[in-house]
C-alpha cells in the first residue's frame, strides 16, 4: 500500500469525482469530497515524510519500465507542492457547503463537487507525474474543470470571464503541447529524466530553442505573468467564493512549479539562463507585474478584484526570486509559493464569509463591518498584514529571504523596488481596514451577524498557519531549501 | 526543402490562420472555430513527425522492415479528445452567454459589462 502512494495521490480524487456524481445529494457529496480531499492530504503528508527521509521516490505506472511506461517521480519540490494543493483544498472545503448554498443553485451542488475533485486531481497529477505529455493531459483536466467551475458564478460576468479564460488557457496549453512535440522530435522521449539527459546533446539546434520558447510562453500565460495576466482578475472576481479561494491559493503555483521544473530540471540551468536573456526578461516582467498589478489593486472597488490583482503582484515576486537563479533565490520563490497559498486561502475564504452574510464584496459593503463580523475582519486584517510582509507573519519570511537572495546577487535597485512594491500593498490593504473599522456601518449592515462556525474554522486554521509559519519557519524553510538544493544539484 | 517539408508548411499556415481568427474576430463562435483550427495544426504536426518514409503501420508482419512511430499517433488521440472537450465547453459557454447577454459579439458584451459596473 505504502509503495503505491504516488499514484493513489492522483487516483483517489480522480475516482472520487464520478462516485460523487452517483451520490447526488448535496450534503453527502460534500462530506464525501471532504473525505477524498483529506485522504489526498494524508497521502501527501506521508509522501513528504518519506521523501525527506529516503530521498526521491520513483513509481512506475503498471510496472512498465521508465522510457516505455509513464513514471511518477516525487522529490522534495513535488512533495511541497502536493502538500500545498491538497492541504489548502481540504481546509477550504470545510466552508464549501455553507458557502455554495447562497451562491450556486441547489440542483448544481453535486456537479460543483465533481468539478472540484476533477480540478484537484488534475493539479495533483501535474505535480506528481514525470512524463511531459502527461503534464499536458492533467493540465487540461484541471483547466477544463476550472472553466466550468468559474462559470458557476452567480453574476453573468462569470460566463464571460470563464470564456476569456478558456480561450487564453487553451492557447497556453496548446503552446505547451507544441513545445513538448518539438522536444520529442529531437530526443525521442517524453520522460522528464530522459529529456534532461538527452537535451544537452542537441541544445544548439533551432528546434530546441523553439521548443523552449513555446513552453515558456505557454506557461507564462497559465501562471498569469504580466502582461499575460488579463484573464485572471475577472475569472477570480466572479467565480464562486470557494472556487476563488482554492484557485488563488493553488492554480498559479502549479504553473510556477512547471516553469521551475522545465527550466531547471529538463532544459537545465546552463541552457535556460544563457541561451535566452531569460534572467533580464523575467526580472523586468516580474517587477512590472508587481507595480502594475499593485497600482491596479489600489483603484478596485470590488474586493475580490482587489485581491485578484494582488495575486498577480505576488506572482511577480515569485518570478523575481526565480530569475535570480541561485539556491537562495529559488528557495525564496518556493517559500513564497507556500506562504502565499496560506495568505490568499485565508483572505478569500474570509471574503466568502462576507459574501455569505452580505451578498456582495464591494468596498462600501465593508463599512463598519469590523464591529459586526469581528472574527472574519480580524482574519482579513492579519491576511492583509501578511501580504504587506509585516514581521511575525509568513509574508515577512518570504520577503526577507527574497531580499537576502537579491542582496547576495548584488541587485540593489531590485531590492529597493521590491520594498517600494510592498508599500503599495500597504495602501490597498489600508483602504479595506479604513472602511471596516473607521467608517460607520451602512444601514443594511446593522443587523449583520458574525459568519457561521463552518466559515470561521477554515479561516482561522489558515490565519493561525500564517502566524505559526511566520514564527517557526523550520518546516517550510527546510522543505523549500531541500527542494531548491536538489534542483541545483547541491547535496545538502 | 520547400516540397520535402510541405506537411510542416501546412502546419504553420493552419496554425497562423487559427491564431489570427482567435485574436482578430469578435464573434465568440468564430473564436472557437479559430481555436479548433489552431489545435488541429498541432495534431498534424505530431502525426507528420512520427511518419517514417516507406514505413507502415506498426503491425508485425512478414516482409516488412520499416514501421512508423506509433507513439505520437496515440498521443494525438488523447489531444483530439481534449480538443473536443474544450470546443464543447466553449460552445456551451457561448450558449449561456447568448442567454444572459443576448449577444455573442465581444464588443456588445463588453459594452453591457461596462454599463453594469
pLDDT digits (tens, 9 = 90+) for A2-40: 788 888 899 999 999 999 988 878 889 999 999 999 999
Convert the pLDDT of each residue in A291-335 to its tens digit: 999 999 999 889 999 999 999 999 999 999 999 888 899 999 999
- Distance between CA atoms of residues A158 and A217, nearest Å: 26
CB distance B28 to B104 below 8 Å: yes
Q: Where are the domains of chain A?
A: 277-492
Q: Do A185 and B89 touch (CB under 8 A)?
A: no
- Return the ∠ at Cα A58 (arms to A55 and A64), rounded to 5°: 165
Structure confidence at residue B15 as a pLDDT band (50, 70, 90): very high
Question: Which range among A55-64, A374-383, A431-440, B1-10 has the greatest average pLDDT?
Answer: A374-383
From chain B, pick out residues whose CB is under 8 angstroms from the CB of A171: 19, 22, 35, 38
Q: Do A156 and B100 touch (CB under 8 A)?
A: yes
Helix A5-23, helix A26-54: angle, nearest 10: 180
Q: Is A392 left (phi over 0), alpha (psi -120 to 50) or beta?
A: left
Q: Do B86 and A170 touch (CB under 8 A)?
A: yes
Residue B67 touches chain A, beta carbons under 8 Å: no
- Distance between CA atoms of residues A389 and A394, nearest Å: 7
- Distance between CA atoms of residues B29 and B105, nearest Å: 9
Query: How much is the average pLDDT of A442-469?
Result: 84
Instruction: Kindly report the nearest CA distance between residue B62 and chain A, in angstroms.
Output: 25
Residue B50 touches chain A, beta carbons under 8 Å: no
Structure confidence at residue A443 as a pLDDT band (50, 70, 90): low
Residue from the list B78, B79, B97 with its beta carbon closest to the beta carbon of A160: B97
ipTM greater than cut 0.90:
yes
- Distance between CA atoms of residues A152 and A141, nearest Å: 17
Window from A126-130, A150-154, A332-336, A366-370 with minimum mean pLDDT: A366-370
What's the confidence (pLDDT) of residue A57?
87
Q: What is the DSSP string of A360-404?
A: --BGGGGTTHHHHSHHHHHHHHHHHHHHHT-TTSHHHHHHHHHHH
Residue from the list B45, B89, B94 with its beta carbon closest to the beta carbon of A147: B89
Which helix (H) or strand (E) is A433 found in, with range?
helix A412-438
Query: How much is the average pLDDT of A350-374?
Result: 86
DSSP-based three-state secondary structure for B108: helix
Window from A285-299, A411-425, A443-457, B58-72 with minimum mean pLDDT: A443-457
Cα torsion angle, A171, A173, A174, A175, sign: positive
Q: Do A178 and B116 touch (CB under 8 A)?
A: no
Which three cell numbers, joined as nine digits, stand for A370?
A: 469590523
HSE-CB for A473 with a 13 A CA cutoff:
22
Residue of chain B nearest A141, judged by CA positions: B82
Q: Where are the domains of chain B?
A: 6-53+67-116
What's the confidence (pLDDT) of residue A492?
41
- Distance between CA atoms of residues B2 and A26, nearest Å: 60
Q: Do B42 and A157 touch (CB under 8 A)?
A: no
User: How does the average pLDDT of chain A come out, rounded?
Assistant: 89
By percentage, how much of chain A surpasses pLDDT 90? 52
Instruction: Kindly report the nearest CA distance between residue A109 and chain B, in angstroms.
Output: 18
CB distance A220 to A229 below 8 Å: no
From chain B, pick out residues whose CB is under 8 angstroms from the CB of A160: 97, 101, 109, 113
Beta bridge partners of A129: A72
Convert the pLDDT of each residue in A226-237 to its tens digit: 888 889 999 999
- Distance between CA atoms of residues A173 and A145, nearest Å: 14
Residue from the list A133, A157, A181 with its beta carbon closest to the beta carbon of B113: A157
Phi, psi (degrees; rounded to nearest 5) at A110: -60, -45
Residue of chain A nearest B40, judged by CA positions: A174
CB distance A269 to A279 below 8 Å: no
Residue of chain A nearest B26, judged by CA positions: A164
Query: How much is the average pLDDT of A43-72?
Result: 86
With cell 531569460, the residue in question is A278
- CATH architecture assignment, domain B6-53+67-116: Orthogonal Bundle (1.10)
Query: How much is the average pLDDT of B11-29?
Result: 93
Structure confidence at residue A366 as a pLDDT band (50, 70, 90): confident
Which helix (H) or strand (E) is A58 found in, with range?
strand A57-60
CA distances from A386 to A155, A245, A368, A480, B102 (A): 30, 16, 22, 19, 43
Residue B116 touches chain A, beta carbons under 8 Å: yes
Q: Do A144 and B85 touch (CB under 8 A)?
A: yes
Query: How much is the average pLDDT of A407-414?
Result: 89
Convert the pLDDT of each residue in A203-223 to its tens digit: 788 889 999 999 999 999 999
| pLDDT at A341 exceeding the cut of 50 | yes
By percentage, how much of chain A surpasses pLDDT 70? 98
Residue from the list A136, A166, A174 with its beta carbon closest to the beta carbon of B89: A166
| pLDDT at A441 exceeding the cut of 80 | no
Nearest Cα residue to A89 out of A312, A248, A232:
A248
User: How does the average pLDDT of chain B come out, rounded?
Assistant: 89
Which helix (H) or strand (E) is A278 found in, with range?
helix A278-298
What's the confidence (pLDDT) of residue A444?
65
Convert the pLDDT of each residue in B25-44 to its tens digit: 889 999 999 999 999 999 99
DSSP state for residue A105 in the 8-state scheme: -
| pLDDT at B117 exceeding the cut of 70 | no
Which three cell numbers, joined as nine digits, stand for A44?
A: 501527501
- Distance between CA atoms of residues B25 and A137, nearest Å: 28
From chain B, pick out residues whose CB is under 8 angstroms from the CB of A147: 89, 93
Q: Return the higher-pLDDT residue of A446 and B48.
A: B48
What's the confidence (pLDDT) of residue A55?
83
Query: How much is the average pLDDT of A42-49?
Result: 92
| Number of DSSP helices (H) and strands (E) in chain A, helices first | 21, 2
| pLDDT at A67 exceeding the cut of 80 | no
| pLDDT at A429 exceeding the cut of 80 | yes
- Return the ∠ at Cα A421 (arms to A418 and A426), rounded to 5°: 130
Structure confidence at residue B79 as a pLDDT band (50, 70, 90): very high
From chain B, pick out residues whose CB is under 8 angstroms from the CB of A181: 42, 45-46, 49, 72
Amino acid at each position: 500500500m505504502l509503495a503505491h502512494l504516488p499514484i493513489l495521490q492522483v487516483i483517489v480524487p480522480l475516482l472520487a469525482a464520478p462516485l460523487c456524481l452517483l451520490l447526488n445529494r448535496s450534503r453527502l457529496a460534500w462530506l464525501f469530497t471532504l473525505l477524498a480531499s483529506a485522504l489526498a492530504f494524508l497521502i501527501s503528508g506521508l509522501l513528504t515524510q518519506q521523501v525527506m527521509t529516503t530521498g526521491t521516490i520513483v513509481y512506475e505506472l503498471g510496472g512498465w519500465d521508465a522510457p516505455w511506461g509513464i513514471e511518477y517521480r516525487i522529490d522534495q519540490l513535488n512533495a511541497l507542492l502536493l502538500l500545498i494543493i491538497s492541504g489548502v483544498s481540504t481546509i477550504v472545503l470545510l466552508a464549501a457547503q455553507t458557502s455554495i448554498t447562497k451562491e450556486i443553485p441547489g440542483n448544481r451542488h453535486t456537479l460543483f463537487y465533481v468539478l472540484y475533485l476533477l480540478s484537484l486531481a488534475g493539479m495533483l497529477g501535474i505535480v506528481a507525474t514525470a512524463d511531459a505529455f502527461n503534464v499536458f493531459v492533467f493540465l487540461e483536466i484541471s483547466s477544463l474543470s476550472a472553466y466550468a467551475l468559474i462559470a458557476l458564478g452567480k453574476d453573468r460576468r462569470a460566463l464571460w470571464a470563464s470564456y476569456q479564460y478558456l480561450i487564453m488557457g487553451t492557447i497556453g496549453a496548446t503552446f505547451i503541447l507544441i513545445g513538448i512535440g518539438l522536444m520529442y522530435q529531437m530526443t525521442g522521449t517524453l520522460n522528464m529524466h530522459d529529456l534532461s539527459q538527452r537535451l544537452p546533446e542537441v541544445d544548439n539546434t533551432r528546434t530546441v530553442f523553439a521548443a523552449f520558447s513555446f513552453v515558456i510562453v505557454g506557461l507564462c500565460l497559465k501562471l498569469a505573468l504580466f502582461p499575460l495576466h488579463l484573464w485572471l482578475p475577472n475569472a477570480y472576481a466572479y467565480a464562486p467564493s470557494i472556487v476563488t479561494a482554492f484557485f488563488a491559493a493553488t492554480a498559479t503555483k502549479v504553473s510556477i512549479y512547471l516553469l521551475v521544473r522545465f527550466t531547471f530540471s529538463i532544459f537545465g540551468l546552463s541552457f535556460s539562463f544563457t541561451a535566452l536573456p531569460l534572467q533580464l526578461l523575467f526580472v523586468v516582467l516580474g517587477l512590472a507585474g508587481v507595480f502594475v498589478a499593485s497600482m491596479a489593486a489600489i483603484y478596485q472597488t470590488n474586493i475580490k478584484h482587489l485581491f485578484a490583482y494582488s495575486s498577480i503582484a505576488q506572482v511577480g515576486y515569485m518570478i523575481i526570486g526565480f530569475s535570480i537563479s541561485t539556491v537562495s533565490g529559488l528557495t525564496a520563490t518556493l517559500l513564497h509559493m507556500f506562504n502565499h497559498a496560506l495568505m490568499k486561502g485565508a483572505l478569500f475564504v474570509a471574503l466568502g464569509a462576507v459574501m455569505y452574510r452580505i451578498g456582495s464584496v464591494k468596498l462600501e459593503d465593508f463599512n463598519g463591518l469590523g464591529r459586526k463580523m469581528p472574527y472574519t475582519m480580524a482574519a482579513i486584517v492579519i491576511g492583509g498584514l501578511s501580504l504587506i510582509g509585516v514581521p511575525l507573519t509568513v509574508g515577512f519570511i518570504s520577503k526577507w529571504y527574497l531580499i537576502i537572495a537579491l542582496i547576495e546577487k548584488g541587485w540593489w535597485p531590485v531590492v529597493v523596488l521590491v520594498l517600494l512594491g510592498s508599500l503599495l500593498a500597504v495602501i490597498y490593504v489600508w483602504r479595506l481596514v479604513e472602511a471596516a473599522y473607521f467608517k460607520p456601518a451602512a444601514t443594511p449592515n446593522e443587523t449583520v451577524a458574525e459568519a457561521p462556525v463552518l466559515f470561521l474554522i477554515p479561516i482561522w486554521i489558515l490565519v493561525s498557519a500564517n502566524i505559526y509559519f511566520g514564527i517557526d519557519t523550520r518546516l517550510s524553510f527546510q522543505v523549500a531549501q531541500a527542494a531548491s538544493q536538489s534542483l541545483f544539484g547541491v547535496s545538502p | 526543402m520547400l516540397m520535402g517539408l510541405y506537411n510542416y508548411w501546412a502546419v504553420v499556415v493552419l496554425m497562423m490562420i487559427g491564431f489570427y481568427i482567435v485574436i482578430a474576430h469578435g464573434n465568440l463562435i468564430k473564436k472557437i472555430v479559430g481555436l479548433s483550427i489552431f489545435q488541429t495544426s498541432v495534431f498534424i504536426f505530431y502525426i507528420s513527425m512520427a511518419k517514417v518514409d516507406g514505413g507502415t503501420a506498426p503491425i508485425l508482419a512478414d516482409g516488412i522492415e520499416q514501421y512508423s512511430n506509433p507513439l505520437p499517433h496515440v498521443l494525438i488521440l488523447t489531444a483530439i479528445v481534449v480538443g473536443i472537450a474544450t470546443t464543447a465547453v466553449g460552445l456551451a459557454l457561448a450558449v449561456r452567454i447568448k442567454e444572459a447577454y443576448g449577444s455573442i459579439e465581444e464588443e456588445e458584451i463588453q459594452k453591457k459589462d461596462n454599463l453594469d459596473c
